[in-house]
Structure 1
Amino acid sequence: MALSLHEWNLQLGKALMVDLAHFELALRNAYARVLQGDLGDGWLLDSSSPLKAPIVRTSKAKRQRDVNLVNRRAIDDAQRRAHDSSNTDQIVAGLTLGFWVHLTDRSRERDLWIPHLHKAWPQGANRNDINARLCAINQVRNRVAHHERLFDPKNNALSPQAVDIDAVKLLHELCPEAFGYLFHDDPRTSVERFLADNPTPAEVQL
């Protein structure tokens, strides 16, 4: 039974990653498009870009920290790994989902969300809501990547079924054209289709 459940969990993760991969592409492309449109070609690599310039915030412990330090390291690392270190598209492709997700956190609200990133979403989108949903998607994606258990989540927000539904909804908001292309024949998510054909081999919750 344990081996059957393990294999089923792996296949569930495989199904989930199909939709998360489409969502990740839509998110990074939407953000890159908005930032390039607002800031020009130097939106990612210029030291003055709000993705790289120091953004100092004070923590609850009254300590100051530069919240863009991690960003700069991620961009520099992606640039080193790119075949063409001056090609922004190659560098964008090398950045993780977590990089894009953290752009909507509270510490970057004044520098990124208010002037720029809200434009990628439907009018009236709430940053707190978007950020919470993106963080849940990223956490579950990382669980898949590390071959962790997806069923019986301790937090309902990390339900693979709920996260997949949310990722598809957000994909629709970011890129209706891609959503229509991917789901015009069958509106179900990949996880919903997987579960219809592959019932759980044990009593687990999703």
Structure 2
Amino acid sequence: MTATNDSHAWIPKALSDARFGKYMEACGGDVAAAFRLYVWTVRVCGAFYPLLHFAEITLRNALHSELAAQFGREDWWAVAPLTGHGQNLVKKAQEKVSVRKSAQNANKVVAKLTLGFWVSLVSETYDRDLWVPALHRAFPHYGQRRDDLYAELENLRNLRNLVMHYAPLNERDLRADHVALYRLYDYLSSGLSQAMREIDQVPNVLWLR
């Protein structure tokens, strides 16, 4: 990988070929253009971060609340019919906070469970055991198929992982992602969308592209 002039010579080495090469490829080998795309990606990730933060927190709290009510205990994972993979994710969360398996420590465990774990609870695997008796209530403004919702949540998870790692986003339809986030807000809470619009900087950063 070569730079177009001395002022750009530092960029490939500082950012590494493995990371920066994807931007170079997207910009036809133009280092200056690739760096502008890289900077824009950092900005758009920063703009999406608070929106994703509130989506993830609201989602996990809604699911946790319904499962705690369904099983009559805050540490519902101790009795819920989780898969082996789900149980392993709970165990890892417990290990991260070094707590015993007790109800008073449930909130600490909830905070450490991954978004992937929460999204998996809406998958077909748990349709009869969790979705039908409890988890559909976590989305009071959603009345469609569970599998369609699961697909939306998987898209959210993928976007979240890209944003958290400042990965290239130039091949994603970020405007569609933005709309999807607000759709999820509306499924979960009647007041969340308006609150997010007051802090939302994504449209401004997308315009800069």
TM-score by length of 1: 0.76
Q: Which stretches in structure 2 are left out of the alignment for 5+ residues?
A: 1-32
Whether the aligned pair in 2 keeps the contact of 1:78 and 1:95 (CA below 8 Å) is: yes
Per-residue deviation, 1:15? 0.9
1:11 and 2:26 correspond: no
Pick the aligned partner of 1:99 from 117, 126, 133.
117
Q: Which stretches in structure 1 are left out of the alignment for 5+ residues?
A: 53-67, 154-158, 201-206
1:178 and 2:197 correspond: no
Q: 1:107 to 1:78 in 2, by over 3 A?
A: same
Instruction: Give the structure with the higher percent helix.
Output: 2
TM-align CA RMSD = 1.9
Pick the aligned partner of 2:87 from 72, 75, 78.
72
- How far apart, in 2, do the equivalents of 1:26 and 1:123 lie? 15
Q: 1:178 to 1:124 in 2, by over 3 A?
A: closer
Per-residue deviation, 1:43? 4.8
Matching residue of 1:131: 150
- How far apart, in 2, do the equivalents of 1:71 and 1:4 lie? 41
Per-residue deviation, 1:181? 3.0
Equivalence map 1:20-169=2 (5 Å): 20-41=52-73, 43-46=75-78, 48-50=79-81, 52=82, 68-82=83-97, 84-85=99-100, 86=102, 87-121=105-139, 122=141, 124-153=143-172, 159-169=173-183
Among all aligned residue pairs of Structure 1 and Structure 2, give the percentage whose two residues are the same amino acid.
29
- How far apart, in 2, do the equivalents of 1:24 and 1:119 lie? 17
Per-residue deviation, 1:83? 5.1
Matching residue of 2:201: 190
Per-residue deviation, 1:34? 0.8
The residue matched to 1:152 in structure 2 has which SS?
Answer: coil
Per-residue deviation, 1:123? 5.3
Comparing 69-78 with 139-148, greater Cα deviation is found at 139-148
Per-residue deviation, 1:170? 0.8
Per-residue deviation, 1:190? 3.4
Comparing 105-114 with 160-169, greater Cα deviation is found at 160-169
- How far apart, in 2, do the equivalents of 1:123 and 1:141 lie? 22
Matching residue of 1:57: none
- How far apart, in 2, do the equivalents of 1:137 and 1:182 lie? 16
- How far apart, in 2, do the equivalents of 1:142 and 1:19 lie? 13
- How far apart, in 2, do the equivalents of 1:88 and 1:14 lie? 30
- How far apart, in 1, do the equivalents of 2:194 and 2:166 lie? 30
